[in-house]
Structure 1
Amino acid sequence: MAPQAEAQNWRLEPTFGSIALRSGFVPDPHRHRVIAGGDNHFLGSEDCRFGGWFASPPDYRLIYEAGRFPTLTLTVDAPGDTMLLVNDPHSRWYCNDDHDGRNPLIRFANPPTGQYDIWVGTYNRSNVRNAVIYISER
């Protein structure tokens, strides 16, 4: 779990939209394109110890209704080095960098119902990248 991300404001409207998904959603994974990066530096998590650059508003918002599946996984695919920062329904912050090569992944066991705000950052400030967020219960 990451410390609170001071520059990220989950109250702002997400830049690239939102989705409401109920457990058992299809297609799985759900995919959504965003632009990674921003002007705010985040540092202070074991899983993101070198920090990254994120926007202030969320990139994407998931309203999730939990159900029969025991996990919820968020991952990013991008051509460069990206990071993933998530504020969960209990206002806990999670960050991941380089889970699989340069792609981040955050997996929630027994995910709670509610709002997940998602930011996709870049390792270098100047490397704004096209990225795809994947949301899966598999």
Structure 2
Amino acid sequence: MFIKTAATAIIAAAAFAGLAAAQDYSLSPNFGTTSLSAGFAPDPYGVSIVAGGSVNASNVGCAGMISNAPDVRLQWSGGRITIGAESGSDTTLVVNAPDGSWYCADDVNGFDPAIALSGSGQYDIWVGVFGGGTANATLYFTEF
């Protein structure tokens, strides 16, 4: 079930700008590009993906195993946006923000990650699996 309330705990993210990375945000996203603007509906908006991969996200200071290419690219026009993932597995988030900063999230809602960010532009998003392997997941976006 998607996160639907503003009362959901969201952890503060740590930015890791300028770190070397094996992740390649210039590659086409595995599960496409989503364009959203402030006030979008439905909210939350979800994308079904397969999380995980063979790249250790510690390359950018994050946890989990991710793919080389982003899972989803978000073109966002607005203020605050929360990016999260839901899965039956222990998933993590890795986000490259429009300014080139790297953000991480893990275990915000049980084993599901979520992260609140601000600012318009291109967000490249990876959903990792803690401990490796792959897992079906839903990547979601919400303004709540």
Q: TM-score, normalised by structure 2?
A: 0.84
Equivalenced residue count is 128
Whether 1:33 and 2:48 are equivalent positions in the alignment is yes
Whether 1:137 and 2:143 are equivalent positions in the alignment is yes
Q: Cα deviation per residue 1:2-43 (whole Å; 9 max; x = unaligned)?
A: 433611111100010011111110111110011000000122
Q: Which runs of 5+ in 2 are unaligned?
A: 1-13
Aligned CA distance change for structure 1 residues 24 and 87 (closer, same or farther; 3 Å): same
Give matches, 1:41-80, under 5 Å.
41-43=56-58, 45=61, 48=62, 51-66=63-78, 70-80=79-89
The answer to whether the 8 A contact 1:5-1:42 is kept is no
Q: Cα deviation per residue 1:44-71 (whole Å; 9 max; x = unaligned)?
A: 64xx4xx2100000000100111xxx52
Distance across 2 between alignment mates of 1:136 and 1:5: 30
Partner of 2:7: none
Q: Cα deviation per residue 1:110-129 (whole Å; 9 max; x = unaligned)?
A: x2111000000001223x10
Q: TM-score, normalised by structure 1?
A: 0.87
